[in-house]
Chain A
Amino acid sequence: MAIVKNDSVIENEWVTLDDESSIPESGTNVLVSLGRFKAERDSLIARNGGLGVLLVPGDAPEDLAEDIDRFSLIAVKFPAYTDGRGYSYGRVLRERYGYAGEMRAVGDVLRDQILYMHRCGFDAYELSDDDETALEKVRAALRDMTVYYQPTGDGRATAGSLRDRRRAVLDDATS
């Protein structure tokens, strides 16, 4: 198991809590389910230490909107690579609610889906590989393509926007 973020392998500094275990004292970063966050919101945001939420398919990212700046990790579960709901959650969180913290893809995270995840706002990937393999896979995946047709919140220029820019330059040159 390795987590890749910003072109390097990072340590997992988060404790994943199930819904029954007690919340550790301050200082520890905790990752809780959406249900637990909703049930214990006030105490969770009052404590010292990082707060993260794990979204699973079927959860509503809208439930995080009011508190979006309180999270420093949102993990999104892909129980199987074929379950693509997490892609929509990523875009809604980044593009609609302006989430700026770490967004981590967890679960069945495979090399050939990482570029799509990145385009949907993910910046960290938990792979079931050793460190070196995981880093290599993420790097290779992000290199697969350089041309993109759709605008998303990832900041990549689309083919359409590059065409517009080129046309403007040409217009300038001929006017």
Chain B
Amino acid sequence: MYRYDDFDRQLLAERTAQFRDQVARRISGELTEDQFKPLRLMNGVYLQLHAYMLRVAVPYGTMNGEQMRKLGYIARTYDKGYGHFTTRQNIQYNWPKLNEIPDALADLATVEMHAIQTSGNCIRNTTTDQYAGAAADEIEDPRPYCELIRQWSTFHPEFTYLPRKFKIAVTGSPNDRAAVRVHDIGLRMHKNDAGETGFEVIVGGGLGRTPFVGKTVRDFIGKNDLFSYLEAILRVYNRFGRRDNKYKARIKILVHEVGVDEIRRLVEEEWSKIRDGSLRVSDDEIAQYIAQFAPPAFEELQANDPEFERRKQAHPDFAAWVRSNVIAHKQPGYAIANISLKPIGGIPGDATADQMELVGDLADQYSFGDVRVTHEQNLVLPHVKKADLFALWAELNSALLATANLGFVTDIIACPGLDYCALATARSIPLSQRISERFGDLERQYDIGELKIKISGCINACGHHHVGHIGILGLDKRGKEFYQITLGGDASQDASIGKIAGAGFSEAEVVDAIEALITRYIDIRTVGERFIDTYRRVGMDPFKEVLYGDR
């Protein structure tokens, strides 16, 4: 894992002092709320419905055990004892006091963490595959490039006042777990004909009120050229992105309006002028970053552990958890353990201070001090010996962290919604809790199979409803919440935007509607077919029929 050196530490210390001064100027009245707003937004401090919210960055979703424990400490010290992991692989605290935020940031800085660029119209936290460095299907670990992107984008002087926020995601695996096709820039690692590893560059994907799957501007960019190419895209966007309408300001609208061919022409022309400049990264420098993410000291183990097999036989609950939450590791004898933050009836992505501290300890004990946050709002211990899985599971289970539902119908993504958010038009969390309770029975979930439900409490789509196999969008209709259902969305390498099924449902009706959809799917699926596969085969009509009958 990347560790800060003195330059990184110095920069963070300066930033922490700078923000403390800005907060002091606000509290003294020297700055009005209007003048303070852009400054706090550059540092992840939002004003929500009831309080300020602090969003802390987890760069590319990777932390060590100490950092995870510190997040727990922050939750206990400055919040109400919990935090909320987000679809940006970050964590949000919903109840900090403004005058205490500088202290919270100073505490975070002691473990090399911060809130830099977790909001504002700048390049946001770069996200990636939560299984990076562990996944069996990986071409190459994407994190060295994510770290280089982190540095390049941190306080980039030219790109801090972009038309709108800008999100970059990277996948090092052909099975895209980072949703790169629905980001402003998606980078997909692959090998060219010469056998070199580089990136397909996808631009203009995004969700929000106008969802688009991104388009490829370049099939292959070499690693040395990645940063000058990113700079060229950002410069084109900064110069030509729309600034007349906040809702048309993302790069996806520019790509849509002028066309991907014109974007490609502009980017290539700009790049031709800077490609040989100081952003070219040498092989040496890349090698140093790859070394920072060298694999941990894995033991030479047999692929199968007999004790592990015996434990599964003896403990059906453990076996169920292994089946749903544990996936293959590239190193024989190791496994990737997913920690669900979706207990039945719970709030998606929430974790208590105690849970965070425990996960930090478990990361140190069982996973080489490595813990990840997923964009689906769960946690991961990426490098666990199969022989340790039972002990790990037992500890997780005692802390209510062993729900065996990864990828199933209760593994719901939901935004904070009207319970917290000033933009929301409806609540998301209570609905996700009711769906979770309705389908809480694990055997029923396993029968239904992989099914991704994603809930947004407004059209801005923070809950990614456009790419849910079943998406739910909460709206306000004459003072009452109602929920619009979309079907057929997908954030994977087969990315697609869901289609609206029809008229929305009241809060009282919507869970029944979801159940009706699932019942219809079970009735018409063929063997081995997931919900999304069935939908793609049969289309909308059979599902519309159960929702609306002859209506």
Given A119-B157, A120-B157, A120-B158, CB of A151 within 8 Å of CB of B14: no
A sample of 19 cross-chain residue pairs with beta-carbon separation below 8 angstroms, ordered by A number, consists of A84-B238, A87-B158, A87-B159, A88-B158, A88-B235, A95-B277, A96-B273, A116-B160, A117-B157, A119-B158, A120-B157, A145-B11, A145-B14, A145-B155, A147-B14, A149-B11, A150-B155, A159-B7, A163-B5
Whether A144 sits at the interface, judged by CB under 8 Å, is yes
Whether A14 sits at the interface, judged by CB under 8 Å, is no
- A150:B162 contact, CB within 8 angstroms: no
Residue in B5, B8, B157 whose CB lies within 8 Å of A150: B157
How far does the alpha carbon of A56 sit from the alpha carbon of B77 in the complex, in Å?
Answer: 48
Whether B398 sits at the interface, judged by CB under 8 Å, is no
How far does the alpha carbon of A96 sit from the alpha carbon of B279 in the complex, in Å?
Answer: 14
- A150:B156 contact, CB within 8 angstroms: yes
Known: A84-B121, A147-B7, A160-B285. 5 other contacts (CB 8 A): A83-B243, A91-B158, A95-B277, A118-B157, A147-B8
Min distance, Cβ B498 to any Cβ of chain A, angstroms = 33
Task: Find chain A residues with CB under 8 A from B445 CB.
Answer: none
Whether A162 sits at the interface, judged by CB under 8 Å, is yes
Q: A24-44 vs B: 1/0 string, CB under 8 Å?
A: 000000000000000000000
How far does the alpha carbon of A119 sit from the alpha carbon of B239 in the complex, in Å?
Answer: 17
Given A145-B11, A159-B151, CB of A84 within 8 Å of CB of B235: no
Task: Find chain B residues with CB under 8 A from A82 CB.
Answer: 38, 121, 161
Q: How many residues from A make CB contacts under 8 Å with B?
A: 34
Task: Find chain A residues with CB under 8 A from B243 CB.
Answer: 57, 83, 85
Q: A139-165 vs B: 1/0 string, CB under 8 Å?
A: 000001111111110000001101110
Residue in A84, A149, A160, A163 whose CB lies within 8 Å of B160: A84
Q: How many residues from B make CB contacts under 8 Å with A?
A: 33
Given A145-B18, A146-B10, A147-B7, CB of A84 within 8 Å of CB of B152: no
Q: Which of A98-150 contact B (CB under 8 A)?
A: 110, 112-113, 115-120, 144-150
Min distance, Cβ A22 to any Cβ of chain B, angstroms = 33
How far does the alpha carbon of A145 sit from the alpha carbon of B160 in the complex, in Å?
Answer: 15
Whether B352 sits at the interface, judged by CB under 8 Å, is no
How far does the alpha carbon of A110 sit from the alpha carbon of B37 in the complex, in Å?
Answer: 13
Whether B177 sits at the interface, judged by CB under 8 Å, is no
How far does the alpha carbon of A149 sit from the alpha carbon of B14 in the complex, in Å?
Answer: 14
Min distance, Cβ B162 to any Cβ of chain A, angstroms = 6
Min distance, Cβ B26 to any Cβ of chain A, angstroms = 12
How far does the alpha carbon of A12 sit from the alpha carbon of B155 in the complex, in Å?
Answer: 31
Given A88-B235, A115-B157, CB of A163 within 8 Å of CB of B7: yes
How far does the alpha carbon of A162 sit from the alpha carbon of B10 in the complex, in Å?
Answer: 13
- B238:A85 contact, CB within 8 angstroms: yes
Whether B22 sits at the interface, judged by CB under 8 Å, is yes
- A159:B8 contact, CB within 8 angstroms: yes
Whether B221 sits at the interface, judged by CB under 8 Å, is no
Residue in A88, A115, A146 whose CB lies within 8 Å of B238: A88
- A149:B151 contact, CB within 8 angstroms: yes
Closest to A161 in B: B278
Whether B39 sits at the interface, judged by CB under 8 Å, is yes
- B38:A145 contact, CB within 8 angstroms: no
How far does the alpha carbon of A118 sit from the alpha carbon of B162 in the complex, in Å?
Answer: 17
